[in-house]
Amino acid sequence: MTGEVTAEPSADGPEEKASELAKAPPEPSEEVAASGSPREEQVPQATKPAPPSEDVPSAPLLLTLEDVSDSSMTVSWEPPERLGRLGFQGYVLELLREGALEWVPVNARPMMVTQQTVRNLALGDKFLLRVAAVSLAGAGPPAVLDQPVHIREAIEPPKIRVPRHLRQTYIRQVGETVNLQIPFQGNPKPQASWTHNGHAVDSQRVSVRTGQQDSILFIRSAQRSDSGCYELTVRLEDQEAKATVHILVTERPQPPSSIRLLDVWGCNAALQWTPPQDTGNAELLGYTVQKADRKTGQWFTVLERYHPTTCTISDLIVGNSYSFRVFSENLCGLSASAAVTKELAHIQKAVITDKPKGFVERDFLEAPSFTQPLADHTTTPGYSTQLFCSVRASPKPKIIWMKNKVAIEGNPKYRALSEQGVCTLEIRKPSPFDSGVYTCKATNALGEASVDCRLEVKGEGGGGLCTDGKQRLPLPWTGGG
């Protein structure tokens, strides 16, 4: 193969006569040609080394191949131990193609670098590399790379990038299209293949197209048999990458197998049904229960996504007759039909039988009796006070208040109240003269009862408060003897 060889980086060296590089390789041409006819690989004859001299540099150290691509390579080395006494000029890199007899310089003049990239190499090139240090006295012994360099297309390991929406179960309905497009990487182009549940895909139902960067699996009309695990394998030489996609093809479920009316009581009806035989290749989300009365025939939903297979429907209207039906539901929706009860649920009026019981009239008549008696009381002159007691009687008794056995009814100094059996006697601004025994007497047709108490008004005789609130002084004693 032939190719134009370019070396980077380039460094300008001093301009010297060609005789100064007499011991260096000859000037390179712009094109480096390989041998036209194939022959056995011949080991090139090494250049006869110059006599040992301290003026000539020693061989560079640690010649290493850093990188190889499909059109370039990079090599590096360490400076020699001895650079020469007459002035160091740089390094000359040479290559020897497979089947050639002469070393070809890569750079025309010595370069003061220890790393060099050779570009514009042709695919399939195979050559040896060596580098020599050059001084004014000439080129030193070269350092030769141990292994030949082979320029070939760079291999990128295969890698599959599964889209986010395909990392979980891919759900489609029966009759819909399935279109899986999965990108991948790899250089050169890898080989892609699909399997369904571990077996090769059915080419009559499934179409596969593989491009440079992706593979597409297409099903025009999906069926439930297309559900399962699909695996994409991408191979490149001895390397491979795999990715799996789970597809679930579903359809609407069948209705419950049977339904029956268990019981009717009051305004309630109990139903029971059996699960459907075919759930549509998907998990059931529940059942939808509806009711319809015979008068209107309109269906109303009572329960949605209800999981048990028995239920009680309440709040039915008295006098109506009801039918019931149950749908199954999955991801695709409700079943196309429903299971309907054969018999009607008649909500009848409850029969109320009047069974009068013998009524025993209670006698509420009661003679007066005091539930709370009067209590002895002490008060201060000039400040109104009250006496309390409570009485129980039927019919309502007549209340009579007495002081020292004398009725005080009609006296403006006293005010008597009776409400809900509580009897109150208010004594307005009492004086020591108002001290004594007070009696409360209750009478009705069935009898009478009375309670009494002692009231003591503390103060000096004849003293007290006047109507204007001032202290009244006792009168002087004018009696004889």
Confirm whether pTM is higher than 0.85.
no
Buried b (16+ CB within 10 A) or exposed e, 14-28: eeeeeebbebbbeeb
Tens place of pLDDT for every residue, the chain, 481 residues? 444 555 555 433 333 333 333 333 433 333 333 333 333 344 444 444 544 567 788 888 998 888 888 788 899 999 988 887 778 888 998 888 888 888 888 888 888 888 988 888 888 888 888 998 888 888 888 989 888 888 877 778 899 999 999 999 999 999 999 999 999 998 888 999 999 999 999 999 999 999 989 999 999 999 999 999 999 999 988 889 999 999 999 999 999 999 999 999 989 999 999 999 999 999 999 999 999 999 999 999 999 999 999 999 999 999 999 999 999 999 999 999 999 999 999 998 877 777 777 777 788 889 999 999 999 999 999 899 999 999 999 999 999 999 999 999 888 899 999 998 899 999 999 999 999 999 999 999 999 999 999 999 987 544 444 444 444 444 443 333 3
261 burial (CB, 10 Å; 0-12 / 13-18 / 19+) is middle
User: In the chain, helix, strand, coil percent, each to 5?
Assistant: 5, 45, 50
How far is it, in rounded angstroms, from Cα 138 to Cα 50? 9
Spatial strand order in the sheet of 156-160: 156-160, 178-187, 214-219, 207-210
pLDDT per residue as tens digits for the range 154-166: 778 899 999 999 9
Q: Report pLDDT for 450.
A: 93
How far is it, in rounded angstroms, from Cα 421 to Cα 356? 36
Q: Report pLDDT for 2.
A: 44
Q: Report pLDDT for 6.
A: 58
- Residue linked to tokens 């006496």: 387
- Whether 221 contacts 173, CB under 8 Å: no
Q: Report pLDDT for 53.
A: 65
Q: Which two tokens stand for residue 454?
A: 């002692």
- Whether 394 contacts 364, CB under 8 Å: yes
Number of H helices, E strands in the chain: 0, 41
What backbone torsions phi and psi does residue 247 show, to the nearest 5 degrees? -115, 135
Cβ contacts of 25 within 8 Å, gap of 6 or more: 92, 94, 103, 104, 105, 139
